[in-house]
A and B are shown apart, each in its own frame.
Chain A
Amino acid sequence: MIRSLLATISVVVLLLAVPSYGAELVGFSELAHGVRIGDDKTKRDGYNLSEFRTQLEYSRVFDDAYSTELFTKAGFLADAYNDDASVYVREFNLFLSPLDNMDIKVGRQILTWGVADLIFITDVFPKDYESFFAGRELEYLKKPSDAIRVWLWLDAVNMDIILIPRFEPNTSLEPKRFSFYYPFTNTIEGVEGHRTLDVRSGSEKGVRLYRMLGGWEAALYLFKGFYKQPRGIKDESKRVFYYPELTMYGLTLRGQLAGGVAYLEAGLYDSGDDPAGKDPNVVNSMAKYLVGYTRGSDTKVGVQYLLEEILDYDNYRDNLKAGSPMLKELTHTITLSFTKLLLRQTLIIDTFLFYSPTNKEAYFRGSVEYKVSDALSVTAGTNLFDGSYDHTEFGQLKGNDNLYVRLRYSF
């Protein structure tokens, strides 16, 4: 621990000593408060977000042969919900070009794959769903990874290779803060909820091949790692979840069509710990297909259709535990989005609706942001959930409806 800290400090000192021509520091402070309007009993029934954060961004460009850049994004968070304060590092990486056709980014960074809007098929990198549902800025949905990323820019095809030495799961919803479904009791639990997440150590690797085909961007993906959600149960009596092995094969295509942007994203999720789909404690393999279309810019409308198929469905059905809800073989989901920029793009109305007729569930997120000045902005928003069943993705969150306000001062 001390050794790695010393190593980090010496690297930073070394970097600061190298001649550079651009060094910049910017940041913001933000106050956020979210009121619960759902009716479930949780740790604090009045609110599920109340915090103050200051985040700084420091970048430095070095005048070396590899055009190296250092980027750091770190912050301080005082969280009134959990009565604690912490320092976090969101990004800390070096970005360099050792060869004419090669870039490398090493360190803590945000990784994104795929083309769909708020539905992640080929983007198998960690997310923070607590931030997403509690009303933090959308940026925090993406959770950083400690990774080595290498890009090779070749004539025929470009390659994007990602190595993650230590697997990092999603930040799942915190029990007691959110009420959600527990398979152990087959009910939604709030303040009484508890569970253990067993994160095994393991490395992950992925590669993306892509190129332009006319005006269309085409990409193929392969990823070997773990599910980011705890899709496996390790010990039922002790309520222990774990993260099963995952291999993902993916495909995306994106281009202009009839004055809008059309895209396609498909993925095959191969569940490594349950290849035949017979283990009721581990998620089955799945195939996911999505098509989407957006039109407009200052007034933007988007629609997406997602089809998810449980593979080896017969085995799933035959081995289902007694009393467990049975998932359908095919799940249909539709999303609609509407964004409007007003007053010279200083007033931003943003809405997004997920609706699944199969699962009889819906999730609406909406926000209004007003940029009072270049420095000051106010955002108010809501997260609303509904569903007929307790076990579905959004249906289980139906007691967590909230309204939130954020005040941000940038400098």
Chain B
Amino acid sequence: MKCHVPGPNVKVLGRTVHALARFGDELYVESLADCVLLRTLNAAESAYAVVKFSKNFFSYFNYNYYSTEDNEGLKCKISMKSALHTFKSPTHMDKQVENLEIKLDPESCKLIFQLRCKHGIVKTHFVSILDCKAMQAVYTKDLVPNRITSPHKILSEALSNFQSSDDQVTVEVSSQNMLLRNYIDTLADLSKVIRTQVTLKPAEFDGYTIGADTMITFTLKEFKALLAFAEALSLPIQIHFETTGRPVVFIVHNGSTFEAHFVLATSKADNASQITTQNTTHNERTKRKDVSSSNHSARKKPNLNTDISKCLEEDSHLFNFIHIPEEHPVAVSTDGNVGNNNPQIENNMDCDVILPSPTAKALIRRVFKRCFEQTIDLTNIQGTVLAEDSDPDT
């Protein structure tokens, strides 16, 4: 991949990275024929963000530069810290940066960010690629009963009334109003905690459709991050949700060059069995193989659609492809832990949360050969070898 971001858009990219950094520690970059996708997932796997930059966001766009296979773009994972370092101060960048070039250097297995700044200064960051895979979540966005379009200001204003120690918020909606409350853990000492409630009327919003009265609870950390993102770019926020337990999707877009989706898992408010911090264990995930009854409260996990065919019918125009496993999955040696350790992908598709898309099998690229040296056993890859292995780098 090789692309150029014109000056004014560098700030947008910077703000995006800063927002995503408050979600997760790793940034997944994927280039497709018509766009670039940045994704991240938080450690608790309860918050996911994906930002799509269309071709017209860039002044130059070549998604498969360096690729030997015509329709394969870039798929990689870099450390969020490295990305943050490149976009250190977005407001500052607005005045300083004239152009940003992002390109892949397959030789050294690095993603190179080169900023051309005022006064002839050039800043180049050589960021190591941690892994060559993509990541994606599937979630419902459009067929939801509740949709609200909100100016970013009112939500920030409402949140300013809460204590900084509050870490979750409960949103209760009806057609009459929206109530925001700080969520109080049932284990907390009630004689010490302030309870705050803010009432917002439908007239405050640009759009307010409530098909089903409901109450959802989600974490404030990521919510504040996406609000700050909308505020920095002066854009409204669309909120799509259905009911407790199902994820809430926040959409921020400018109608032309980029669109950001922030998906937060919701938990049942005031549910005594809820613990505020927990890590979904793998055991739990594999246990829930049969999730046709989707009412099963997903504890802080975005809910995956249970039926793949349903996904394809959905009007999810941004994310209309899912990595469907091949008929005869190639057995891949996993000693290097490339990330794909689920040979039974078909079975897990319907109950697992976020799947790393198959990597080794279908997507090995000759050009990433060196990246895989330590992590993959090339002898297991089937298919025509277009080039002999050269000597591995020291």
Q: Do A and B bind each other?
A: no
Q: Which chain A residues have a beta carbon within 8 Å of chain B's beta carbons? A: none
